[in-house]
Amino acid sequence: MTRIDDLPIRDELRGKSPYGAPQLDVAVRLNTNENPYALPDALVDRIAERVRDAARELNRYPDRDAVELRTELARYLTRTAGYKVGVANVWAANGSNEVLQQLLQTFGGPGRTAIGFEPSYSMHALISRGTGTGWISGPRNEDFTIDVAAAEKAIAENRPDVVFITSPNNPTGTAVGSDTVLALYEAAQAAKPSLVVVDEAYAEFSHHPSLLPLIEGRPNMVLSRTMSKAFGAAGLRLGYLAADPAVVDAVQLVRLPYHLSSVTQATALAALEHTDTLLGYVEQLKAERDRLVSELRVIGFEVTDSDANFVQFGRFDGPGGSHAAWQRILDHGVLVRDNDVPGWLRVTAGTPEENDAFLDAVRELKKEQSS
């Protein structure tokens, strides 16, 4: 039987595994940071209306530049992040992963490198490899915050072409302060200069304001966002960026023609019409996230401070480590995420009922560990 490594694939892809989390049929699934609330009926009806209108012209290509959608995304960012951006500052693609891929196709590639501070979003490294960009794993402190001095040193020594900063960080949930982002941006500009990508996929869940205003006067800084989390639209696959207009022009050099379908644009526009309702769900999830943090600490777990819609908890240093704990929680009908961070697991904030089931499961786990 032919294996992947028997094929003439690129050397940097050999021995690697595709990104993915287990998709198991269990009662409570809290492993992929999805928003647990279904879209409201009024929004579903509006999506149907917009898609029906778009369907009448499916014989034509979609708006190649998605101008209406980018205009509404700019309006949303201006309203919620407290910094005015326009259509020229915003670009959209099929999920934030495609946004990141386009950035790496434009600013990375063969002979170039990218750096991220791990553990962090594993797709940064995967997309880097997929675009032929060399990957550098940068340092973090024991508490999962970024060691600024060590990070500045790594940037100075490696002179990367792209720097990734994830805030709130995935899988740890920790936010990154603006002072840290500015310090690393300055280090990156002194070293090369380099593109700095601030991945804000979970920004709406944070206790802290968006880092969007930092793009002012910094043409090599990009902010990446998604509609998968706060908008409860993981199945839509819509991501976007905000940056200097020159960056928006640059990524269009590599984008595929008509990459955003008419249906995708119509659905996203409908969702943006219901921002207030969807952000109301976000407030509920923030409260549930904070409850998980508090309850897990009461039970006796270590918990990383979280600004996202998930919580990292541990430590699992006994036989089998975190994976054995993951399996025991699964045995109780709850699926969480083992991100291969030694001694730690991650749980997504679900509905109150789902979170109760999870907390019951980990209470049983703690009893088993203590017996």
Assign domain 4-39+277-370 to its CATH architecture: Alpha-Beta Complex (3.90)
Exposed e or buried b per residue across 157-178, where buried means at least 16 C-beta atoms within 10 angstroms of its C-beta? ebebbbbbbbbbbbbbbbbbeb
Q: Residue 52 has what pLDDT? A: 98
Strand partners, 223: 198, 242
Strand partners, 29: 335
Enter the tokens of residue 262: 């008419």
Q: Give span(s): CATH 3.40.640.10, the chain.
A: 47-273
Kind of pairing, strands 162-166 and 195-199?
A: parallel
Q: Residue 25 has what pLDDT? A: 86
Q: How far apart are alpha carbons 289 and 283 in whole angstroms? A: 10
Residue holding tokens 């968006």? 210
Q: What are phi and psi of 259, to 5 degrees?
A: -70, -25
Closest among 192, 140, 156 to 312, alpha carbons compared:
140
User: Can you give the pLDDT of all 371 residues of the chain as single tens digits?
Assistant: 898 888 998 888 888 777 767 778 899 999 999 999 999 999 999 999 999 999 999 999 999 999 999 999 999 999 999 999 999 999 999 999 999 999 999 999 999 999 999 999 999 999 999 999 999 999 999 999 999 999 999 999 999 999 999 999 999 999 999 999 999 999 999 999 999 999 999 999 999 999 999 999 999 999 999 999 999 999 999 999 999 999 999 999 999 999 999 999 999 999 999 999 999 999 999 999 999 999 999 999 999 999 999 999 999 987 789 999 999 999 999 999 999 899 999 999 999 999 999 999 999 999 988 76
Q: Residue 16 has what pLDDT? A: 79
Enter the tokens of residue 6: 């028997």
CA dist 224 to 103, 141, 241, Å? 10, 24, 4
Q: Residue 245 has what pLDDT? A: 98
Kind of pairing, strands 334-335 and 344-348?
A: unpaired
Number of helices (H), then strands (E), in the chain: 11, 12
Residue 95 contacts residue 237 (beta carbons within 8 Å): yes
Return the SS3 of 85: coil
Q: Give span(s): CATH 3.90.1150.10, the chain.
A: 4-39+277-370
Compute the C-alpha angle 344/288/29, nearest 5°: 60
CATH of 47-273 given 3.40.980.10, 3.50.50.60, 3.40.640.10, 1.10.10.10: 3.40.640.10
Strand partners, 348: 310
